[in-house]
């Protein structure tokens, strides 16, 4: 069986702040710590979490009009999550 990471075609380098990295590491640890033996089908990595977040928003209708910066984009994503 081919490892999941080898099924992806594109490698992407994304700059993160220390806060982003700490959050991803904590989330990864919590996921791994809180699953029973029968749910350990594959390794959950920081990359897994990021891909899942991207997939979660792929089909979400989002107001993309007049987004001047990352902060506005973040606010619109948060609004969508709340609704």
Say which range, 46-50, 58-62, 72-76, has the weakest mean pLDDT.
58-62
pLDDT in tens, 7-38: 888 989 999 999 999 999 999 999 999 999 89
Three-state secondary structure along 30-83? HHHHCCCHHHCCCCCCHHHHHHHHHHHHCCCCCCCCCCCCHHHHHHHHHHHHHC
Q: Indicate the domain borders of the chain.
A: 16-82
Cβ 80 vs Cβ 62: under 8 Å: yes
Tell me: pLDDT of 5 over 90: no
Is pTM beyond 0.75? Reply is yes
Asked if the model's pLDDT at residue 4 lies above 90, the reply is no
């Amino acid at each position: 069986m081919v490892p999941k990471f080898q099924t992806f075609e594109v490698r992407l380098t994304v700059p993160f702040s220390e806060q982003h990295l700490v959050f991803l590491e904590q989330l990864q640890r919590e996921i791994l710590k809180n699953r029973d033996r029968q749910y350990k089908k594959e390794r959950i990595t920081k990359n897994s979490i990021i891909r899942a977040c991207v997939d979660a928003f792929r089909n979400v209708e989002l107001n993309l009009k007049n987004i001047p910066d990352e902060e506005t984009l973040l606010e619109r994503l948060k609004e969508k999550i709340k609704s």
